[in-house]
């Protein structure tokens, strides 16, 4: 079945550092890919998405490119802020699973001043 694997955390960075969170997936067909962010005590917020190969999703300085050849959707940000401290989830949907979100285990990010 479909699955998502993302790098284990926690990731600790200094403010203004470059961020990469790796995400790879296994799916048959043509999944859509998502990054969600969860701040402490809150639900999930959709950060960005990509629905086909080579699409780049972007939002609030975060970017991720749908790479079918490497089955990856790595999240990047050029300069993180303390306010970016949160847990980040990579996820996919596909017709195989009736478009239910299939999540990775999440990566905790802590940005220090």
Q: State which residue, 13 or 24, has the beta carbon closest to other proteins.
A: 24
Q: Cα 101 from chain centroid?
A: 13
Nearer to other proteins, 74 or 104 (CB): 104
Closest to other proteins by CB, 85 or 96: 96
Instruction: Decide if 14 contacts 110 (C-beta within 8 A).
Output: no
Residue ranges in contact with other proteins by CB under 8 A? 32, 34, 36, 42-46, 49, 89, 91, 93, 97-106
User: Smallest distance from the beta carbon of 84 to other proteins, in angstroms?
Assistant: 19
CB of 96 to other proteins, least distance (A): 11
For residue 32, the minimal CB distance to other proteins (Å) is: 7
Are 88 and 75 in contact by the 8 Å Cβ rule? The answer is yes
Q: Are 103 and 97 in contact (CB under 8 A)?
A: no
Q: Which two tokens stand for residue 113?
A: 């001043």
Residue 106 · residue 10 · CB < 8 Å: no
Among residues 13 and 108, whose Cβ is nearest to other proteins? 108
- The helix/strand count (H/E) of the chain reads as 0, 12
Residue 86 Cβ vs other proteins, minimum distance, rounded to whole Å: 14
């Amino acid at each position: 079945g479909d699955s998502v694997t993302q790098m284990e955390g926690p990731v600790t960075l200094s403010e203004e550092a470059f961020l990469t969170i790796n995400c790879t997936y296994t799916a048959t067909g043509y999944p859509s890919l998502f990054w969600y962010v969860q701040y402490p005590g809150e639900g999930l917020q959709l950060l960005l998405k990509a629905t086909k190969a080579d699409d780049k999703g972007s939002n609030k300085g975060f970017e991720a490119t749908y790479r079918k050849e490497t089955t990856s959707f790595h999240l990047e940000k050029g300069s993180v802020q303390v306010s970016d401290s949160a847990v980040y989830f990579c996820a996919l949907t596909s017709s195989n699973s009736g478009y239910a979100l299939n999540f990775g285990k999440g990566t905790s990010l802590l940005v220090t001043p």
